[in-house]
Amino acid sequence: MDRSKTEKQYESLSPFELKDKLIEMAENPRVKMMLNAGRGNPNWVAVFPRLAFSILITFAIEEAHRVMSRPGIAGAPDSKGMGERLLHFCEIHAEQRGTQLLENGYRYVTEKLGLDGDSFIGEMVDGILGDHYPVPDRVLKNTEVVVRAYLADTMCDNDPPEGTMDIFVTEGGTAAMTYIFNTLKENFLLNPGDKIAIGTPIFTPYIEIPPLNDYQLVEVEVEQDENDNWQYPAAELEKLADPSIKAFFLVNPSNPTSVSMASESLEKIAELVKTRRKDLILLTDDVYGTFVNGFKSLVAIAPKNTILVYSYSKYFGATGWRLGAIGIYRENVMDEMIAALPEEKKKLLYERYRSISTDPASIRLIDRMVADSRAVALNHTAGLSTPQQVMMVLFSLQELLDSDYHLYKKEMQAIVHERYGALYRALGIEGPELPCYACYYTTIDIRKLARERHGEEFGKWMESAHEPIDFVWRLAEEKGIVLMDGGGFDAPEMSVRVSLANLFKPDYEQIGKGISDLLDEYKAEWEKGK
C-alpha cells in the first residue's frame, strides 16, 4: 500500500489516536532519538505543595495516635485544638521544606478567608487520611472556600463578579466535561438536534463528543482568525445571536493555538447575554488561563450564563492527580431554564431525582451533576477522594500566598516562553510574542510557512500532491519527531500543534530544525518533478 492510501486511512482518527501511530513510526532504529512534542503533559512539578502534603500526613498520623494507639492502628482524629497543634508542629519541624506553606496557609485561611482554624485543619487531616466519604459530596466545606478564592484570583484577575460561585471538584477536567454534557442532556437543556457553537480550532474531544449518539447535537463553528493572532472576529461571535444555538463551548486560552480571548471579544459576549441571548449557555475550559497575565474567563464577565471548567493538571504538573473543578454561580440561567421546563419534563426529572430529595425540583444544576456522576442512585458515595481535595487546597494556597509577586507564575511562563523562542528561532521566523499568548502550545501552519518560504507555486504543490497528514507522518518516520496534526483540531490542514510543555529547550531547537529540513526536502522533490 502506498503512503497516501495509508495516510487516508488514518486521517479519520482523532489526532490523539493518530499520535500513537506516529510514535510507533518515530521509534525507528534509523532515527537516533525520538522527540515527542505531541501530548501536553508538563515535565515540571510544583514542589512545595507536595512537600507540604507529605508533612501533613506525618502530622495527621500523630493526631490520629492521640485518639487511639494500638500496634499498626490509630484512631479518627479529633479536631478540637488542632489548629494550634499544627502551628506548634510546624515550629518544631521548621527545618523541613514545606512546613512554611502549611503555616502560612493556615494563617491565610483564618485571617484572610475567615475560616475556623480547627475546622480547616480538621478537614485537611481527615481528608489526607481518607478515612471518611467526602461530606459534603460536591466538595468539602472549607476546601470550597479555598478553591473559590483561587479561581477568583486566577480566572477573574482577582476581581470576581458579585455573588457566590459554587464548586464541584472532579477527577480532572476530563471528568468535569463528561459530567457537564451528561447533566445538560438529562435535564433537557441540550436535546438531540439542538445547535451548539464550538470555538475552533479546539481540543478535539469537544468536536467529537456532540455528534455522538448520546447527544446528537448539531455543531456550528465559531472560527478564530489565524491572521489576527487567532482571535474571534466580531462577525463570527455574531453567530451566537442566533436563538437556535443553545450553547457556546470553547477553550480559553485556546488549544491548540494557546491564545486567550481579547477583551473586545469578552465584552461582545457579555453584551450579547445581557441583551439578545439571555438564555445562551457558555461552557469554558480555562485550564491554561494561569499562563496569561491578567487573564479573565467568561465567568468573570457573564457569570449567570457560564459553566467554568478548570484543571490543576498543567500549571502544577499534576496530570496524574486528576484534579478538576466545575464552577457555576448560584444565580444562573441554567437553573432558571430547568424551572421553566414543561410539566411533562419536570415530572420526568422529579422521578429521576426523587430518591435523593423530598423536593427534587429545588436541586440546583451543580448538585444534579454530582448525583448524575454516580447514576443518581449512588449519590451517597459521590465526590472526589478527600486526599485529592487536600492536594487541591495546597496547590491553591501556594498561588494565593504568592499573589503579590507571582514568583511561581513567572517561572512557569519563563519555561514555556523560552521553549517557544527556541522553536521559532530554529524555524527562522518570528513567533508572535503577545500578552494573550499562553505559549503552552503553538500551532504552525505548514502550508502557510511553505508559501512564505518558497513561494505560492510551491505552496499549491504541497496542497495538491500530499495528504493533509503527510507532513506529521514524514516528520515522525524520517526525523523521529512526533507532533499533533492541527487539522484534527479544526486548525488549518497540514498545520501542526507543538506542545511546549514536555521537552527541554534544546529539543525544541531540534524540532524547529527538523520542520525546516523536512520542508526543504519537500522543495527538493518539487523541483525534481518540475
pLDDT tens, 398-411?
999 998 899 999 99
Q: Which residue has the higher pLDDT, 55 or 33?
A: 55
The three-state secondary structure class of 108 is helix
Identify the weakest region by mean pLDDT among 26-40, 265-279, 501-515.
26-40
Say if CB 514 and CB 467 are below 8 A apart. Answer: no
Cα separation, 250 vs 299, whole angstroms: 12
Say if CB 423 and CB 498 are below 8 A apart. Answer: yes
CATH architecture for segment(s) 47-132 = Orthogonal Bundle (1.10)
Measured CA distances, 280 to 220, 239, 240, 348, 490 (Å): 14, 12, 8, 23, 23
Cα separation, 420 vs 486, whole angstroms: 17
- What confidence tier does 212 reach under pLDDT thresholds 50, 70, 90? confident
Identify the weakest region by mean pLDDT among 117-121, 133-137, 158-162, 462-466.
462-466
> For the chain, what is the radius of gyration of the CA atoms?
25
Say if CB 148 and CB 308 are below 8 A apart. Answer: no
The three-state secondary structure class of 138 is coil
Residue with cell 459530567: 179
Whether a cis peptide bond, with omega within 30° of 0, leads into 432 is no
Helix axes 386-401, 407-427, angle to 10 degrees: 90
For domain 3-40+407-529, give the fold: Aspartate Aminotransferase, domain 1 (3.90.1150)
pLDDT tens, 148-204?
999 999 999 999 999 999 999 999 999 999 999 999 999 999 999 999 999 999 988
Which cell numbers in the block locate residue 208?
Answer: 467529537
pLDDT tens, 34-72?
789 988 999 999 999 999 999 999 999 999 999 999 999
Complete DSSP assignment for 396-415: HHHHHHTTTT-HHHHHHHHH
- Mean of pLDDT values over 97-115: 97
Residue with cell 512564505: 452
* pTM recorded for the entire structure: 0.94
Cα separation, 505 vs 497, whole angstroms: 17
CATH architecture for segment(s) 157-386 = 3-Layer(aba) Sandwich (3.40)
pLDDT of 205 over the 50 cut: yes
Q: Where are the domains of the chain?
A: 3-40+407-529, 47-132, 157-386
